[in-house]
Every structure is written in C-alpha cells, then in structure tokens.
Structure 1
Amino acid sequence: MQPMEHLHLKHVLQTVCVLEAVVLRSFGPEGGQVLFTRDTGQAMLSRSGTRILTALQLEHPLARMVVECVGKHNNVTGDGSKTFILLLASLLRMIHTMACKEPNVYHTYNSREAAEAATARRLADELLAFALEELDDLIAVRVVPYGLCVSWEDITAKSQSPAYTNCHYAQKLLASFFHTRLGHTHCDFISNLTCELLRHWKFKNDLPSSVLQFVNDNFPALHTPVLGFPISCSRLVEGQVIHRDFATPCLQTDHQPVKAVVFTGYLQQKLLGAGDVLKVGRGGQEMEANSKKEKSIVEFSAWSERSLECVIENLRRLGVSVLLSAVKQTAAVLSLAAQAEMCVVECISEDELSLFAHLSGTTPVLDCWMIEPVNVATLTFCRPILLGVHRYVHVAFHDLEERFKPCSLVICGPGEGQTDQHACAFQDAIRMLLTTCRPMGMTASTASKRTSQSNKSTSLHTEDHSNKTANSSSSASTFQQGALEPGCVIPAGGTFEFLLNHALLQHGYSRSVSDGTKMGTSSVSQLLANALLSVPRQIYSHSPRHFLQIQTRILGFSPNHSHTLSLPYKQEHKICLIHGCGTSECPLEDGKSSMHCCRKADVSSKVFMLDSGLESVSCKYQLLLAVLQCVTSLLRVDTVLYTHTALHTQSRRLANISLKGTEDEAED
C-alpha cells in the first residue's frame, strides 16, 4: 500500500460511482432487494440504503467518508440514503464536466488536474452558498404550494377512511415510505400499525415533535422482535414488555394492583458495605488471627442475613411484590424474596428501566436502606407473556389512560435479518415523521428577504395586473406566513424534483434579467436543476416515455411557463397536484392547502400521482443540504496519508486527510 495518495477529481467521482452502482439495484418503486453473504455464511436481504452501504467492506477512506455522511443524515431524517448517493454522483459528474470544459489559466497551477480541482471546489462552494441562502425560499414559494399539509391530528386520527381525507394522506405518506423499504405487500398494514402506535403515545397538551422524539429515543425499549412469524402477525401490546424473565416464581396478580420497586445495584453488596470491614493480617500475623477472622465472618454473615430480612420486611410493609433489578442479585436475595412471595426480575437494560421509571413516575432505589413511598410504582398487573419462543415480563401502568395509553410494539419476521429490517424501517418512519412535523426554519432576515423578493416579483407585473396589486400583496403575505409550516408533503414519483428543477431554471433567468445581464440561466442554478432530474430519470428508467409524460403533466399545471412567473399570479391560480385540478374556487385558509377543494363528481380525475404516494418536503430539503455539504467536503480532499495505527472505533478517522481551500486549513 502506498504511504501517500494524491486524489484528483476523477478519483472522487469513480469512488462515488461505485457506491451508486450498488444502491441503484434497489432504488425506486421497481427496485429489488440486495442479498449479502457474510464470512460466517449468514445471509442478509435488504432494500434499505443505509443497511446496504454499511454492510459493504470498504477500503478507500473517501468511500467510508461518504457512507458516514449518509448514516448521519439517515439518523436525523430516517430517509433518503439511496437518493443521497444518486444526487451526489450526479452532481460530481456535472461538476467534473464543467471543470474540464471551463478554460483555466494553467500558469497559475502546476497541472491541468490542479486547475480542474480548483474549479470544482469553487463550484461546490457556490452551490452550497446558494442552497443555504436561497433554496428554502424557492421550495417554499415554488414547490410547497403544489402540495398539502398533514397535521398531527391527521396522523393520529382513529378513522382511516378510504375517501380522500387528511387521514388518507397520512396513510399515503407512511405507505409510500414503507413501500421503498419493505415492498408493496405489507406497506398499508405497517403504516396503519405505525399510526396506531403513535395514537397510543399521544400525550395531551404536548407538541407532536416531543411525542415523536420520545418514541424515537425509547424505541429500543418499546419494540420486541419475534422470529418465525410473518410480519402480518405484528401487533401492539398494552403497557411495557420487559425483555427478561422472572428469576423467582411469578404470582397471579391480574385482579389487583401491584406495587414494584426498581433497584439499580446489588442489595447484598449494599448490606456488606454497611457493616464493619474485616481486616486480614499479613505474614505471620495472619496465622495468629485465623481463628478470630473465622469468628468475625460467621458473625458478619448472621448480621448480613438479619439486615437483608429487615429490608425485605420493609418492602412487604410498603406492599411491594415486584423487584426490578438492573443487575443480577445474590442467591440470598432471591431466596428471601421467594419466601416473602415477591417476584424478582434481574438484568434489565438501562433503556427499559429508564422507560419504566418515566411511565411509572417513580425514582429508582440507589440505597436499599432509603426506600420511601416515592420509590414504589403502582401497576395494573405484572405477569409473564410468551412472544415466540421467549417468555418476558409484561407490566401495565395504573391511572395513565387519562394522559395516554402506553403500549409496546411486537415486530414479527421470518428470520433475524428480516425482523431487524422491519424494526429499522419502523424507527426510520418515526424519524421521517419527526422531520416532517418540524418547520423547515425561517429566520427574521429570511422572512424580510422573502417579502422583499415577493414585492419585487409583483412589481414586474404591474403593467398586466395594476388593478390587483393590493390584493396580490396581501395574498402573498398571507401565504408567506404558512409556507414553512410543519407537515408539508408532496406527491412522490419525482414531483419535487420536477418542480424544483423548473423553479431553479426560472430563478436563474429572473436573476440575470433583473441584474441587466444577458448571461441567461446561471451556471449554479442550472447545475443543481439538471442534477435533480437524475432522480426521476432513475425512477422511470424502465420507461423513458413515462418520464417525459409525467414531467409534461406536472409542469403543465403551472399556469404560466414563462420565466417571469410571479407568486401572486400563482396564488390566484393555485393548482393542486394531489387531485390534478385548480383551486381558484377554494382559497387558502391560514396559509394551508385546502384538502376538500374538489367536487365529489370529479374524484375519478383527481387521483393524479396519488398512487405513487407522498413524501416529505422537509426531508427533501435537508437531503439537498446534506448532499451539497458532502460534495464540498469531498472536493476539498487533496491527499490521503495512510497510517499504520490500529482503528479503535468505527467513528474515528480512517486516514489522515490533507485539506485545502480555506485560510484556517492552509495555516494548519
């Protein structure tokens, strides 16, 4: 292996293209699953982009860097791993083409490769700066109006009507997500199960993001994998399932409340620490004090047993019949607990104990001598439950139905790999909903800038709409307040990419006209716009004619194809891509899209793009930012220095990378 490797733009592109070739096998609704075989002979079948990329045994540091970026993005949004690689490869190809064609002053650089690398870094920096400053404005003004808003009440609604209601759209959002992960067969069933899970954990007077964040953080303790059953056997179980079995015989307490205490340490060790420490002599003194030491051990053992009996008696006086322990207790503790008819559950994970303490509202016991009523939890029942071939502890909490109904998720699968894949898909769906329910974010400066841009765009049409300027301004102002509200979704199947591509081309042309230049569409806007089309091209790769038909149909809903399309004009001629109809008769209410803008007689013609599902606008926006940041980081890599130090953790640097481009990096 070479001690040093100089990287050129073509090397970066080749590395990313290898990853692209892997994920393309499972990309899109027509994509298949990828089969991996480990050295141990174990097989893994998956359509998840993150699982596929992390399963690869990558040697090149750049490839590992890309996979790490994809993993971090997936941990936030739960979606877009395969699209991340696809957009990344498309952008790098276009940057490489532009860098090779652009004339460079070669005497400034040592070689042609250095000149191309400098041009590529400049383009990447301009792309990222453009995205951070103006991309959210374009999405809010040119993309969001063609979608709709799904609220938290829509996701957690009880009735899932087959009609075109908000509940139906919430189901479509989840079903399309699971379709790309687990296939079409069970996506509706899993989406219904996800909505039911969130409905049980719906806290009163709490923000949706808080509920989703709680479910995401506690998901390891909230789900139980069961092998050997089809996924259709997955269900919800009331209360909490603790993934341990009883260490002592379990009593039948189904018809009366149960009181439990959580211990975080060893009961016997606490008792030994409370007594005097035995001192053992050294050398010759040890033989002389032998008889005295044996007598002290016997006396201390008797005292320890009496003290443990006092603790058990104190627990009985408090009415405690269940002991939950984070560690394995001694045989003396189990024996005395069994004699006192107390159930003991040992070696409970920290996540499960934390969830139990949160739901029960109690504090775990640190010192067994300091047990108070605040440490005692009241349970509706505590009994064993058989899930598959394993027996666990099943508890239900008392007096929690007024706030919420806690439940656990049982995820079934034929094998370990499939069950784990289903569990990851469930948690990724929660992350996707969490990202969707959060606003995209708009600062005061962004809001003022958007208002000025809207007024400027309105002034371009004063000649044709002079009598509507006041109404248009007020309409635009109303729309701006709700444009970045949480819950924005849009039809899947390339709708987001088609609309943003059109908006970027219009934006570049409008900017050049307003500046008084004749440069046409700016290179940055055109580069990003062309890269976006790589996603729908791959979705419809099996039918290029279908790609053109969908693109023509989506852009055909725009009332004006000219490059001077203004926000007020679009606002007056609002188009609903969900139904494929105009909504001029149904004005916006509080900045939200009306879900019932069409007459029932036209339902047969209002299902445009609905069969392809829905996807989150916020997830798409964050995906673009993450890809552009990754492009900037990749193109700043100049040299890879290979070291011989051992890799301790996967998250550490896999190579020392020399960077160029900024003043701080040059000083380092």
Structure 2
Amino acid sequence: MAALPRLYEEAAALSGAVRGALGPRGGRAMVVRADGRAVLSRDGRLLLEALSLQPHTARVMAACACRHQSATGDGAKTFVLLLAAVLGAIRDGSPRRAVRALPSFERRVLDRAVARGLRPHLRSAFPAGGPGAELEPASLCALLAAHLRGRLGPAERRAVALLGCELCARCGARRHTELRVLCGRFAQLHAAVSGLPLGRSMVLPGVLLRRDFAAYCPAGGQLLAVLVTRCLRAALTAPGVECALSSERQHRAALRWCSGRTEAVMEHLRNNGVRLLLSGVKQHEEVIYYAKLHGVSVVECLSEEDVSLISEITGMSPYDPAGDSLQKEITEAAVVTFCQPLLLGSQRYVHIGFSSTGAFQPHCLVLCAPVDAVNEQHAAALHGAFTMLLQLFRAVDQQCGAEGESHNGASGVGSGYSPATETQVVTGHIAPGSSQVSEHQLGACRGETAAQSSDLALQGSRYPDHAPPASAPGPHSKEPNACSDGAGSAGTHKPQTQCECADGMDESHQRHPAVCSHRNDSTAVAGAATLCEHISVGKGPEEAGCGAAQSYPCSIIEAGSVLPVGGYFEILLHYYIQHYAKQVQQSAVTVISNVVADALLSIPKALYGTERNGFTKFYLRTTEALRRNEPLSVSEEGLESVYCKYQLVTSVLHCVTELLNIDLIIGVKRPLQKIEDNDSDDDF
C-alpha cells in the first residue's frame, strides 16, 4: 500500500496550486507553456496539465481530475480539493480498513443520503417531464452563468454566457438529441477570430467551413448541393484492373474519353439543379474547369469531421457517379439556402446555410478575442458548459433483482473505477421519462420489502438527534398523506417482496421493532405511498403512482436535478451522510462516513475563505434550516447539476481506492529490449 502521508502531501500540493483559482472569487494563475507563451487561466485542467509533476502518484491524481472534467465538463479543481481532504482525514486511521469500507459506504450511506435526503431539496431544470423534455430557458442561463463563473473573469463570463444561451436557442439545443449534436460538433460549429474584442462575437446561421472556394459561381436563392468523397474525374483503371495501351494514339483517345466523361458528370449535376459540390478530397483540375463552365461552385479538401457534420445535418450520403448511366435523377442532394465566401480576420471561410432534416438548426459561433490564448479559453469554457448541460439528461438508477441490488460501474465518468468497488450507479443517455417510470413504481424498488416501506411510514416522528428523518419532506414536497387513500386499483395490491436489499435493512428492524411485529399489507402499502410521495417531489399522487406492485429501477438522481450554487450540495450531503451513518452498525462504515462528510466541507470553506466568518455563517444558517425543516435561503444566483456533483464524489472515492491499493511503484526509464524466442543460452 502506498504511504498515506506522502499521498496526502502530494494531494495537498496539488490543491494548493488550484485553490486560489476556485470559485467566482478566485483569481487567475499564469501558466507558461512549453513554447514560452504565458497564459492567464482559471481552468483547473489547464493548471494541472501545466504542472511538471515528478511523483507518479501525483500524476495519477492529476490525470483522474482531468478525466473527470473531460467527462462532466467541470470539477478538476474541486476534485483535487476533495481528494486532499479525504486523504488527510484518513491518514491517521487504518487505510486498508477505509478501503474495505468504501463500497459499503457508497451503497449504504452515500446513495441513501442522495436519494432520500437530498431529493426534497432538488429542483428540476425541465419545465415538464417526458421523453421530449427540454431545458427551461431560465435554468439554461442560470446553469451557464454559474459554470462560467469558475472558469472566466467577471468581465468575460457574462458575455460568453449570453453567447452560449443564444447559440443553444438558435440551434434548438435544449433537448438531449440536439444538445448532443452541439456538444459533439462544437469544434466545427465555432470559429475563432483574433485581434478583435469579445463584444464583436456573434452567432451566424449555417455552417462555416475552414476552406476557400476552388470554384465559385454566385447563385441566388435556394440551390442543391451534393457531397462527394472521391475524385469525379473518370479513371481508366480501378483496383485490380489493368489498362493496356499499345500506342500513343490510344493514350490520347483514352484521355479524351476521361475528359468527356468528366464533362458529362458535371453537366448531369447541373441539369439536376446541383449548384454546389462539397468534396472531401482534392479534385482534378478538369473537374474544376468543367464546374466553372457549368456554373457549379466547388469546395474541396474538407476534413472528415466536416463531411460527417454535413451528413449528420442534412442526412445525405456521398454521391458516386461511377457506373451511373447519367440518366438517373440525383437523390442524394441537400437544400442550401445560401452559399458565399466569408473573411474573418485573416482567415477565409465558406459560409453555407443548410436546411436541416431534424430538429437541430445549424448555427455557428464566431468568437472574438485579442489573442489566440484567450479565444482558446473561451471556447474550452463553452464546450465544457455544453458537456455539463448534456449530463443533465442522465439519471443515476439503482436496480433491484431477485437476489439483491445489482452493482454496475459508472460508465465513462471519473477515473479508474476499482473492480473491488461495488457501485450501483447506472448512467446513460436516459430520457426523463424513463426515470419517471421508475418513480411511478416505487413500491418494491431499491430492494425494500414491505417492512422497509412501513418503516418509512414513521417519517413524521422526531429522532433523538433532532435530525430530519430519512424521507423528511423538504420545502418542495407535498403533504405526507396525499396518497394514503383513494389510490385507485394500484393501491390495493401488495408490493412485491422478491427484492432483498443487499445493504442490510435488518438495522431498521432493530431500530423500530414495533413496525416489524405489527407489519401487515395495509401498513406496507401506506409506507410505499409515503415513500412515493416524498421521492416524487413536485408531483401529485396520480403522477407518483403510489402503491404500485411492480418492481422497477429506483432513481437515485432524476434527470434534470439541479441545486443552487455556493456549497449547498456539499452542506446538504454532509448533513445527510452524518444522519444515515448513525443508522449503520458497522464501525468502519461509520468512520469513513464521518471522514467523507467532513471532507465535503473543505469545498465551501475554500469558496468562502476570503470572507470573514463567511463559511461559519453559511454553515450554521443552512444546517439550522435543515433541522427546522425550513426552506433554504439562497443568497447567490446560479444552478449546478446534481449529477455532476454526485459523480465528483464517487470519482474521488474511486481514486482514493486506487491510490491506497498501490503496493509497488516500478519506474522504467527506458523501454525494455525485446528478447527473441529463438535465442539460446549460447548467445549470452
């Protein structure tokens, strides 16, 4: 096992390097690149990548933080701070014991704290659920503004946030499918112009191709365009075919045939109304000549990304005239509303307006900045913001099976999940409707039997520590008896008891023996109804589907869940982790729960570090509101994705597991020489 004090020192050094740039009150750090250029930046990934780290374990920490930011769009600085706090809290304890307790902590404490404790406080970025749910415009602006506050300076973030909102609105990228196109094709949907102020940035309709016309024939109104990926000049040979010419006369005749065939192809395009040829390869000079002759504009040498973008937007496949009789109608053509050259700074572009076949309306963003380095920061910040928005459509589900909970690793988020870590996170491009279906059938989810549901029916009682119960209603929940009666036919069925919770619900039986001894069908249904009501925040009893008998996956985090920025997620999770840790009877899980809960406070401490007693006032005000079951007072504008914050915590815990499981570090300064199998002892 790696030396824990040394690991903490390395993590503390990394956190010290990025702490000053954390949050809206953070400053900029000067990064000197390998080529000598100095860049002022607050981007955590850029700061970590610029450090010349010698220890191998420190490189692992920085790589984990950078991978997490690549997956979720943000969080590299917070990742390092939380990692240092966790390692510092367990350095005086038993590292191996902490590693063994981490899977149980995630399953028995962390997921409960998120699914039951945080849920009443969550908001939704979607005005309405369902498969076609889209981001609310106000939530979109609040999410972008909050994300950019930690990446850009105060003079820039507002302008860049407005540009991002305008680009999303023009492209129609407020749903998952359209936002995925904008995020995945952002490199082709924006252009950078140096030497101009940020205020000159704009959103233009259509697509900007980083090429110039090989042949330009102005044409007004709508026209047709075709996409090709091979040279249109007819060839005498083909792969595996040999052309034998016995004389110079035959050679000249063959060239005349190729030229005539090329002219016939361009004439065929012109007769079918095609006025624009988009080529992924360089065309022969004869193709350019006949294109000008027939009034067809040509853009050649397009990149594979540009060709893929055009195909995705228009839905057309590359046109291939080989073997065509030149009498058929061209069907692989797209409608173009305009086509013109455009000069941005010193770079020439081809500006094309496509008629999209889908809901995504192609628009491009022109980013202006005094120097290239600033432009790169603005583009990276916006791309990260769109990546973060894309995570809002993901949900974290917990599956129930006949033999207990299924534990699946989180896909593509964070860094290096240990095989020994039992994670029950199921992530993916899940529409909000699917997460709501899981809510509609909560009677038997999460492996909770009828006794567990009846245990939750006692949520109105006060605990000795004055903490709110596991399913205590928050400021956005409805009355607990909203679906206790009149639940319809669904409420008359007994919840299935085939799922057995793998995290040991016998603790609740010992805590409330009266519930276990007097358990019956009606009590179980009432308990399931209570759980449905408090998990389905903001929904009526009919929408929540109380008392359903079928077993469906239970959503730990719904798609679209957001919280106000400023440390609320960390304070809430700290509070509810401590609450649920008291219900666990294993000392190792309780210890690691307190470690993580205390480490979470390091993030709001860093955010409010510049204010006198700022963190203390914020912490006391928030926890007092939780104890009194009152709405939280929000002092700052902006929202943040709960999914991204949850993945940050789980990624840090998996990184800790990896670091503490290192037994030996082998440094190889030069590649090993390959030893041939046929070498014998006589050769040495």
Shorter chain as normaliser: what TM range? 0.7 to 0.9
Contact 1:128 1:625 in 2 (8 A): no
Greater helix proportion: 1
The letter for the 1-side match of 2:370 is P
RMSD: 3.2
Task: Give secondary structure in 1 for the equivalent of 2:238.
Answer: helix
Structure 1 residues 231 and 153, CA, compared in 2 at 3 Å: closer, same or farther?
farther
Q: What is aligned with 2:646?
A: 621
Structure 1 residues 88 and 278, CA, compared in 2 at 3 Å: closer, same or farther?
same
Pairs within 5 Å for 1:481-496: 481=536, 484-496=557-569
Within the alignment, does 1:609 sit opposite 2:638 as a pair?
Answer: no
Q: What is aligned with 1:500?
A: 573
Structure 1 residues 629 and 344, CA, compared in 2 at 3 Å: closer, same or farther?
same
Task: Give secondary structure in 2 for the equivalent of 1:267.
Answer: coil
Task: Give secondary structure in 2 for the equivalent of 1:619.
Answer: helix
Following superposition, the deviation at residue 365 of structure 1 comes to 2.2
Task: Give secondary structure in 1 for the equivalent of 2:573.
Answer: helix
Q: What is aligned with 2:4?
A: 9
Pairs within 5 Å for 1:27-46: 27-46=22-41
Between the two proteins, the alignment pairs up a number of residues equal to 547
Q: Deviations over 1:522-579 (max 9, x none)?
A: 201101101101111111122351110000111111244xxxxxxxxxxxx5x432xx
Q: What is aligned with 2:446?
A: 448
Structure 1 residues 232 and 131, CA, compared in 2 at 3 Å: closer, same or farther?
farther
Within the alignment, does 1:266 sit opposite 2:243 as a pair?
Answer: no
Contact 1:147 1:576 in 2 (8 A): no
Q: Deviations over 1:278-331 (max 9, x none)?
A: 459xxxxxxxxxxx4544433332222122112112212222111111122222
For residues 151 and 84 of structure 1, what CA distance do their matches in structure 2 show?
Answer: 27
For residues 325 and 294 of structure 1, what CA distance do their matches in structure 2 show?
Answer: 33
Following superposition, the deviation at residue 70 of structure 1 comes to 2.0
Within the alignment, does 1:637 sit opposite 2:677 as a pair?
Answer: no
Percent identity reads: 31
Contact 2:183 2:386 in 1 (8 A): yes
Q: What is aligned with 2:124?
A: 149
Of residues 208, 222, 233, the one that matches 1:257 is 222
Q: What is aligned with 1:228?
A: 195
Contact 1:200 1:404 in 2 (8 A): no
Following superposition, the deviation at residue 150 of structure 1 comes to 1.3
Report which stretch shifted further, 474-483 or 80-89: 474-483
Contact 1:363 1:375 in 2 (8 A): yes
Within the alignment, does 1:478 sit opposite 2:448 as a pair?
Answer: no
For residues 532 and 345 of structure 1, what CA distance do their matches in structure 2 show?
Answer: 54
Pairs within 5 Å for 1:106-505: 120-151=95-126, 167-202=137-172, 208-248=175-215, 250-254=216-220, 256-268=221-233, 270=235, 272-273=237-238, 277-278=242-243, 292=246, 294-370=248-324, 373-398=330-355, 403-444=359-400, 447-449=445-447, 455-459=454-458, 473=527, 474-481=529-536, 484-505=557-578
Report which stretch shifted further, 12-21 or 449-458: 449-458
The letter for the 2-side match of 1:180 is G
Task: Give secondary structure in 2 for the equivalent of 1:424.
Answer: helix
Task: Give secondary structure in 2 for the equivalent of 1:441.
Answer: strand
Task: Give the TM-score, by structure 2 length.
Answer: 0.73
Q: What is aligned with 2:602?
A: 534
Q: Deviations over 1:92-123 (max 9, x none)?
A: 11121223xxxxxxxxxxxxxxxxxxxx1331
For residues 616 and 522 of structure 1, what CA distance do their matches in structure 2 show?
Answer: 28
Contact 2:278 2:302 in 1 (8 A): yes
Q: What is aligned with 1:600?
A: none
Structure 1 residues 321 and 89, CA, compared in 2 at 3 Å: closer, same or farther?
same
Structure 1 residues 390 and 122, CA, compared in 2 at 3 Å: closer, same or farther?
same
Following superposition, the deviation at residue 457 of structure 1 comes to 4.4
Report which stretch shifted further, 542-551 or 369-378: 369-378
Task: Give the TM-score, by structure 1 length.
Answer: 0.75
The letter for the 2-side match of 1:639 is L
For residues 374 and 69 of structure 1, what CA distance do their matches in structure 2 show?
Answer: 48
Following superposition, the deviation at residue 275 of structure 1 comes to 11
For residues 618 and 421 of structure 1, what CA distance do their matches in structure 2 show?
Answer: 25
The letter for the 1-side match of 2:303 is S
The letter for the 2-side match of 1:616 is S
For residues 340 and 246 of structure 1, what CA distance do their matches in structure 2 show?
Answer: 15
Structure 1 residues 463 and 524, CA, compared in 2 at 3 Å: closer, same or farther?
closer
Task: Give secondary structure in 2 for the equivalent of 1:412.
Answer: strand
Pairs within 5 Å for 1:538-617: 538-560=606-628, 573=629, 575-577=630-632, 580=633, 608-611=634-637, 613-617=638-642
Following superposition, the deviation at residue 374 of structure 1 comes to 2.1
Task: Give secondary structure in 1 for the equivalent of 2:663.
Answer: strand
Contact 2:234 2:258 in 1 (8 A): no
Task: Give secondary structure in 2 for the equivalent of 1:641.
Answer: coil
